[in-house]
A and B are shown apart, each in its own frame.
Chain A
Amino acid sequence: MIRILLFSLLLLGCKHGLAQTCCSGGVPLSNNLGLPNEGKGSFLLGLNYDYNNLNTLKAGSSILDDDSRKRITNSILLNMGYAFSDRFSFEALFTWVNQTRTISQFGNENFSETSGLGDAVFLVKLAIPDILGSNTVLNLGIGTKAPFGKSDLTTEEGFQLTADLQPGSGAWDVLGWLSISKKLDFRPSATISGSLTYRATGANNSYLNNAAVYEFGNVLQTNFGYTDQFFIFNTIFNSVLIFKYRKAFDDRIDVSEVPNTGGEWIFIRPELGVQLTPAISFNSRLEIPTYSYVEGTQLTPTIRFTAGVTIKLKKNTLNAIN
């Protein structure tokens, strides 16, 4: 019991360690990392669709009575995870992004859209079992976000679009990832887990036709969740409730901080998964903002929905860690 308490304190303590960004119409990279290590030689594939609607205009923590601006990001995310051993694994996340900006003002509707291949993440992970007691797994990961997406899209007229409408960031980022999970002794079907992702962003040195250097703000994200399984209709369901904290630092252009970027958000995220077959599971989640404080005035997330499947293309039945 003391171990559980210490474990929980560690998870909560992580929350105060660092910080992050967001207007964030961006691709939910951090949300979609963390395929489990299913044992040496196992190969997992995840395919998800993510819908992110930003239609809430906020100044600080106050909601402004203005719904004239709407940003929607549709993303398709493909992750692949391969375990080199029961401890070491590799994960890659590829994205395709569609972003729209709609302004409804004075009876007019102005619509802009960009789409294309987004940035990708490559992560090397280490799983350490029982380091915080029995039935615990600590996962550590380090990786990079590669600028596969275009960051120099222009409108049909040839205008340079701002960084937040581009499918890619044009910068290499460094990612650190940590997750901890523990199966509860008194309820073997339940797990508590926490994760922390920190993204130290790089700079896009060729922003606006090489006229400026743009750097998105560093991002810290922590999740704390409870998972339980239940069995009905001869099917295993996974229900999850996650509290997510995200902090984004201000973006920078050249030597200047970009106003109206950065902030803090707290989301609640119910998830439901279904084990369709021994190798295929369906996952869905809804992300609802419960609190946010944005720097300046920003359009901020209203609702996010993600759904997809995870397929075990090859599994190791002897895995004892996850």
Chain B
Amino acid sequence: MTMKKKLFLMGFVFLLCSCSKSSTQTITTQGDEVGMEDTENTSTVWSIPVSEVLDGGPGRDGIPALENPSMVSAENASVLFDGDLVLGYKNGDDIRAYQHIVLDWHEIVNDNIGDVSLAITYCPLTGTGIGWNRVIDDQETTFGVSGLLYQTNLIPFDRATKSNWSQLLNESVNGSLEGKKADLIQLVETDWRTWKTMYPTTRIININDTGFSRTYGVYPYVDYRTNDNTFLFPTPKDSRLPLKQRVHAIVNGDVAKVFQFSDFDSTPVIKDVFEGKNYAVIGNANFIISFELEGADRNLEFDYVFEGSSDILVEDNQGTQWNVFGEAISGPRQGERLKASHSFMGYWFSIPAFYVTEIYANSN
């Protein structure tokens, strides 16, 4: 065989191999360590543009959610600075904090607190921490990290149906639960010092016993949270505010209204009307929370009485004192609770990426 023939033959074989295929596939084999069922989501129908859904890189469960993590008391919290942010939750006397330095690595915590099945969902790329009820259609499930992103925001999946959800839309966007809304559970996002001062009996995730080897305390995204120019995936960038500024967003359907920390410099209690609903939005330098005022509550006037040494936040004109979770802890309405608003904290850019967004303008 001449050299030309040999070369031609080898080139031909190589081209055959080369052209054979360029394809991708994802297969999931089932196991059952965290209550997973046999269902696999085979739906290819999405309520959001599939072309804008991105594989974030780690793959499904590549970022492992935590399941009922071990908790420790505040004095035993490790690698946590006073200024580090936590997501706080309170169910009666069971008070828990979920620190960002853990959520940066796990993004979802499935927890049971008394009678509440809570999923803490946190997206480090949008800075959004939102609590979801894990009981869906009377069935308890857990959520995992799909590894997918939409508008650079977390797409959790529920292990019961493998349906995919959009965190910022708070609804399932693919699978048998498509269109299903998540029931929000109110969280308070603030710094560790403020939280543990309000709730000295709080417990917090034990970073020495998460079951995973991670460098907690080392922020995995370098300067992402502070640099307005750093983005890892394409997303719309609304320049009305600094892109990574933390804001409080109240959402209603497909519209949202955001409040900035500076809005509360001189007015810690803002009563506002948005989309026909009345809200009390209360903030200081360390947290912003809001409540929807229904019925007679719309007429309440609130005095800001927060001193930092307890969770007492405001006192209304009827003499009832309310804490940061809207619980009446003294006064004529003790035992009642203000309605939590549909709201969460997040980086500014992420809100207009999902909602038609209005910025609160403080007239003062």
Contacts and interface: CB of A to CB of B under 8 A. Distances in A.
Interface stretch (B2-10, B299-307, B342-350): B2-10
The interface centre, meaning the residue of B24, B27, B31, B220 with most chain A CB atoms within 10 A of its CB, is: B24
Contacts, number: 177
B36 interface: yes
A156 B21 CA distance: 13
Interface string A247-287: 00000011111111000000000000000000000000000
Contact of B24 (A105, A154, A256, A314): A154
B33 interface: yes
B248 to A, nearest CB: 26
Interface string B252-292: 00000000000000000000000000000000000000000
B26 A96 contact: no
Interface in B1-54: 3, 6-7, 10, 14, 17-34, 36, 44, 46, 50-51, 53-54
Interface residues of B, number: 57
B220 A297 contact: yes
Interface residues of A, number: 61
A231 B220 CA distance: 53
B79 interface: no
A68 B59 contact: no
Contacts of A255: 229
Contact of A45 (B7, B58, B60): B7
Given A103-B61, A107-B32, A208-B233, A160 B51 contact: yes
Contacts of A296: 218, 220, 222
B364 interface: no
B57 interface: yes
A45 B10 CA distance: 9
Given A59-B218, A64-B213, A105-B61, A113 B25 contact: yes
State the 8 A-B residue pairs at the shortest beta-carbon distance, nearest first: A107-B31, A116-B22, A211-B234, A105-B61, A107-B33, A65-B213, A64-B213, A256-B230
27 contacts: A43-B3, A76-B14, A80-B7, A94-B14, A94-B18, A96-B17, A103-B59, A103-B60, A105-B62, A106-B34, A108-B36, A110-B59, A114-B22, A114-B24, A158-B50, A158-B51, A158-B53, A159-B50, A159-B53, A159-B54, A161-B24, A161-B55, A162-B54, A165-B55, A211-B234, A256-B227, A314-B3
